[in-house]
Chains A and B, each alone.
Chain A
Amino acid sequence: MDFVKEFWEFLKIRKKYWLLPIIIVLVIFGGLIVLSQGSAVAPFIYTIF
């Protein structure tokens, strides 16, 4: 949670809000790839691609 707060502060100070959607997408896909390694989420990934 601290990380999210700090990163939000960073985006605010740098006024780089446009980076946010890119980061969200990266984190979601990154998370999916991690979860998909031998787990129940794997079939979900295959249907997307």
Chain B
Amino acid sequence: MTKILGISAFYHDSAAAITIDGKIVAAAQEERFSRKKHDPRYPYNAIEFVLNFAKIKLSEVDHIVFFEKPFLKFERLLETYVAMAPRGFLQFSKAMPTWLREKLFQKKMLFNLLKKHDKNFKEISKIFFSEHHLSHAASAFFPSPYEEAIVLTADGVGEWATTTVAIGKKNSLKIKKEIHFPHSLGLLYSAFTYYTGFKVNSGEYKLMGLAPYGEPKYVDLIEKNLIHIKEDGSFRLNQDYFNYTTGLSMTNEKFHNLFGQKPRDSKKDKITQFHMDIASSIQSVTEDIMIKICKSLRKEFNIPNLCLAGGVALNCVANGKILKEKIFEKIWIQPAAGDAGGSLGAALAFWYLELKKSREVTSKDAMSGSYLGPYFDNEEIKNKLNNLGAKFEILEDDALIEKTADDLSKGNAIGWFQGRMEFGPRALGGRSILGDPRSSSMQKNLNLKVKYRESFRPFAPSVLRDDVNEWFELNEDSPYMLLVADIKREKQNQMTEDEKKLFGIDKLNIKRSEIPAVTHVDYSARIQTVSRDTNKKYYDLINKFKDKTNCPVIVNTSFNVRGEPIVNTPEDAFNCFMGTELDNLVIGNCYLIKEYQNPALKKDYTKNFELD
């Protein structure tokens, strides 16, 4: 048996994954263990978890693959500084000490860190380095259910590449073309994330959520000044407007003058219609580029399947538009499309490309529903809850589903902790907060009382796969919540003339459909389809909710508060439950009701995490 450990680290979202004979056994992000969101440090805890889960020691691992090449990254940094000199000295002086001290000697550094897991680990020759975008592409193609596919990856930047096109066929994956730094779709989107006052590398999906409140008024301005887009979707950014190659911010004065405002300071400036229009404009430009790239690739390679990965592939609105355009017959998106997924891609790339092992393609993907993280059995959960002083009752599966569905239909907000934790940024019914989508106050309540986050942010629906087409303009699998589609017209409530005149966040108060809690202001929803064979318990719960309410849809949001990584252990779940206004916690077969808990266990939870 060949065991391969994949690692991504030292930039953001560090993670570890393990494959045995090409089968994905376990994968997890470090942030879930360290409780520090987007933790970039060496993923000690995540590696410990994947090794323990696979029941092997590090010395028994055959190959260890890091997700990118540090030398190539260093080359890019040096060349950029030389090209830009003397501008960029500040960034240079900040970056070089870390590089010269440790990053350049990453192999040795990794070796020393790895030895901490197992003193018998002595072979530095087991450590290999993949390439950033090759790792993304491998994570998108090898687990996909396709024998042949076009693989498109796009993110901020890896070594040099920012956008890559590869062709995957059976067990081969060949990179065909690349767009190089500083021309980057991910960095363009991040520049606007920064400009609108959100945190770069984490606030991008807030910008995406804000977009439907605005009008794409600035598209022309962006396309005339900031970016030159060619017919095939390839692009060049005008560096006169950006500061990321040389400075310590994303945008410069010229950029701010172009739009007529300084970047929003999230500590004191409110989000205005201007920021919503900016969000709408950059979202529209991103979609335009992605669609153009996809159309030209479909024409050039004539392959009907598309695989996506890289941070830009988490832009589910753009993904939904690609699907709607019917450019490809099938689309598959890696659920851990960001850098965390690079760990998995690195391991898979080694198995198929370096060891040249054959690949069997099945009708379902190889991600096991992305439930690749830690698992706790009922006995463990019971003991942990007792230690925490929790009051709970233990129910059999049927009674548990019945009671949860019943409480959901009464409008309760429920913490749902079941089975293995998800790998990737989305909660998919393993570590989720659930609610009734029919309630018109649910979105506001969940945002303000449970998640403590901005009220404009939408929630996503989980819907039974068989019923998706009855409620949404979608008839595809979307198991990883990475596709956005509209609510079916017959389920929508059309706005009156007066309501249409409302601007921005005021639109949020209108009941827009039969399931308002998951209907964004433009009638769209980020859909997760749920099948019995990937998550039976979750499927049964939604099915029971449907029996009671005639609605096969529930609200599904990640089990955390703003700024907190998704809960990992029963302790994390209980703390979050006690620190927020969640009504119930269903953890394994244990059922907790808030009013029965000891009030002394309540904590001021919101201050524990830095807001993102």
Contacts and interface: CB of A to CB of B under 8 A. Distances in A.
B532 interface: no
Interface stretch (B100-108, B440-448, B604-612): B100-108
B96 A10 contact: no
Nearest to A14: B75
Contact of A6 (B72, B82, B96, B107): B107
B71 A7 contact: yes
B258 interface: no
Contacts of A14: 72, 75
Contact of A3 (B72, B79, B105): B105
B108 A3 contact: yes
A16 B75 contact: yes
B260 interface: no
Contacts of B113: none
A32 B515 CA distance: 66
A3 B107 contact: yes
Interface in A9-46: 10, 14, 16, 19, 22-23, 26-27, 30
B221 interface: no
Interface residues of B, number: 15
Contacts of A26: 96, 100
B78 interface: yes
Contacts of A3: 104-105, 107-108
A41 to B, nearest CB: 17
Interface in B75-107: 75, 78-79, 82, 96-97, 100-101, 104-105, 107
Contacts of A23: 78
A3 B97 CA distance: 18
Contacts of A6: 71, 107
A30 B96 contact: yes
A4 B72 CA distance: 15
A10 B100 contact: no
Contact of A30 (B71, B100, B107, B124): B100
Nearest to A30: B100
A27 B105 CA distance: 12
Contacts of A2: 107-108, 124
A22 B82 contact: yes
Nearest to B124: A2
Contacts of B105: 3
Contacts of B96: 26, 30
B68 to A, nearest CB: 14
Given A3-B105, A3-B107, A3-B108, A19 B75 contact: yes
A8 B248 CA distance: 31
Contacts of A19: 75, 78-79
A23 B82 CA distance: 12
Nearest to B96: A26
A22 B105 CA distance: 17
Given A3-B107, A26-B96, A30-B96, A10 B71 contact: yes
Nearest to A33: B97
A22 B97 CA distance: 14
A3 B109 CA distance: 11
Contacts of B79: 19
A26 to B, nearest CB: 6
Given A27-B100, A30-B96, A30-B97, A22 B108 contact: no
| Most chain A CB atoms below 10 A, which of B75, B82, B97, B101 | B75
Contacts of B97: 30
11 contacts: A2-B107, A3-B108, A6-B71, A7-B71, A10-B72, A10-B75, A16-B75, A26-B96, A26-B100, A30-B100, A30-B101
Given A19-B75, A30-B101, 11 more contacts: A2-B108, A2-B124, A6-B71, A14-B72, A14-B75, A19-B78, A19-B79, A23-B78, A26-B96, A26-B100, A27-B100
Across the A-B interface, the 4 shortest Cβ-Cβ residue pairs? A30-B100, A10-B71, A19-B78, A3-B105
